Amino acid sequence: MKQYIFNIHDVVLLMTAAECLLLAVFQSILPTRARHDGRLLSAFLLIIAVASACTLILWNDQFSLAPWFEQTLLPYLLYSALLLKGPAIYLYVCSLTQRKLTLDRRLAIHLLPALLGLACIAVFGISSSDLRLATDTEQSLPTLAIEFIWDLASLVPFVYAAASLVQIRRYRIALKDEYSHYSEVELTWLSALAWGVFISWGWTMVVHVVAKFSSDIVADYMGIADNYLAFILINAFFAYSLTYAHQLLDTKPEEETHETVSEEAPSEPAITKVRHAMDVDKIYLKKNLNLEQFSERIDLPPKEVSGVINKHFGTNFFEFVNSYRVEAAKTLLADPEKADMTVLDVLLESGFNSKSAFHRFFSRLVGMSPTEYRKQALAAEASS
């Protein structure tokens, strides 16, 4: 018996599906996977497993399944997976870069592309045989519908991959706005994976376009390369999720990693030094101030400074410094002689180096925007 059911390219698809299933199970038992990101990664892996398995069944001629499954159910499973993998990866990235992502009804909007594709299959009664012959030249309505859902299955994941890159960029900007230094390792890994998804699904879209205008042989080889890219990508996702993903939501400024609080209460001389640096020396006016620079300025170890701020003042280093900056901004905003200063001038004069960080901290600590505070303060000064 020398007839082979699978060739090496089919084996790659089979391994991708099997590995995704195993990784999804593995993800579910990890202790850090109670969060949304763990569930979404498992969902993404299961979706890729379904897409790989359905692709294998659709294009492999050496074995067959029950006709009702292979001809009727398979198109629904395949297009559900192809049109849901984009939203899955996007929501996974959002769960890592947004601290309060909630899986509520609003996210159902991401199901619309999949529902549109499935509606086309149902309306036109598209079978697996129809999908394989989608490149026929006869431009009948069912053929146009098949081409449409193939176009949709190629374009939608690519768009979501691009949206994931935009989300990561926004998260990086937010970190820069709020912190002067932060750990880049986890974020760099996530960016690399998002770029990998973007390139892989971009290649899928190129393969789809080329298949319309080239020979079947060229399209087959490009499609095979696409399957290999997917296999490599899944392995990279597993390495990332196992090593770095659980740390991303805890990404904090590098300085805060030193803020381990000792059991002993801070000494009075240390408290006096910290208070003097803030109240008299106004060290908070220095932009991009970090814990090491602060500690060096007052000649105390970073650990001791961290203990003073945590134990005595009941906050962390960045909240402590920015609360002083907000008070300095309030003084400038309430001074009639400084009424010609712009809000940008005020935030820079107060020690902030980012407009968004200034507005975020000011609104949180004062309960109103800087502009509203200035209007009220100047009005109260005028009436008095």
CATH of the domain at 61: 1.20.1070.10
CATH of the domain at 300: 1.10.10.60
Last residue of a domain, one of 204, 226, 252: 252
Expressed in angstroms, the distance from the first to the final Cα of the chain is 101
Last residue of a domain, one of 197, 223, 252: 252
Last residue of a domain, one of 252, 274, 304: 252
For residues 245 and 270, state if they share a domain. no
Would residue 3 count as lying in a domain?
Answer: no
Would residue 68 count as lying in a domain?
Answer: yes
Would residue 257 count as lying in a domain?
Answer: no
Would residue 258 count as lying in a domain?
Answer: no
For residues 12 and 71, state if they share a domain. yes
Would residue 2 count as lying in a domain?
Answer: no
Structural domain of residue 32, as residue ranges? 8-252
Task: Please state the domain count of the chain.
Answer: 2
Each of the 384 residues of the chain gets a pLDDT tens digit; together they read 455 455 667 777 777 888 888 877 777 776 554 467 778 888 888 998 898 888 888 877 676 778 888 888 989 999 999 999 999 999 988 888 876 677 778 888 999 999 998 998 998 888 888 887 654 445 566 788 888 888 899 999 999 999 999 999 888 877 765 554 555 666 787 888 888 889 888 888 888 888 777 766 766 667 677 777 777 777 776 666 556 555 554 444 444 444 444 456 778 888 899 999 999 999 988 877 878 888 888 888 888 888 888 888 888 888 888 899 999 999 999 988 888 889 889 988 998 887 878 888 888 888 899 999 999 988 888 787
For residues 244 and 318, state if they share a domain. no
Supply angle C-alpha 237, 243, 248, rounded to 5.
90
| pLDDT reported for residue 383 | 81
Would residue 377 count as lying in a domain?
Answer: yes
Would residue 1 count as lying in a domain?
Answer: no
Nearest to 46 by CA among 68, 77, 74: 77
| pLDDT reported for residue 112 | 92
For residues 224 and 327, state if they share a domain. no
| pLDDT reported for residue 167 | 92
To which H or E segment does residue 113 belong? helix 112-124
For residues 188 and 66, state if they share a domain. yes
At 261 the three-state DSSP class reads: coil
For residues 224 and 337, state if they share a domain. no
For residues 269 and 225, state if they share a domain. no
For residues 227 and 318, state if they share a domain. no
Dump the DSSP string for 134-196: TT-S---HHHHHHHHHHHHHHHHHHHHHHHHHHHHHHHHHHHHHH-S----HHHHHHHHHHHH
For residues 169 and 70, state if they share a domain. yes
| Structural tokens at position 56 | 């294998």
Distances in Å between the Cα of 70 and the Cα atoms of 7, 14, 59, 73 are 20, 17, 11, 6
| pLDDT reported for residue 259 | 41
| pLDDT reported for residue 163 | 95
| pLDDT reported for residue 251 | 47
For residues 269 and 213, state if they share a domain. no
Would residue 221 count as lying in a domain?
Answer: yes
Helices (H), 30-104: 36-59, 67, 74-97
For residues 50 and 179, state if they share a domain. yes
For residues 226 and 269, state if they share a domain. no
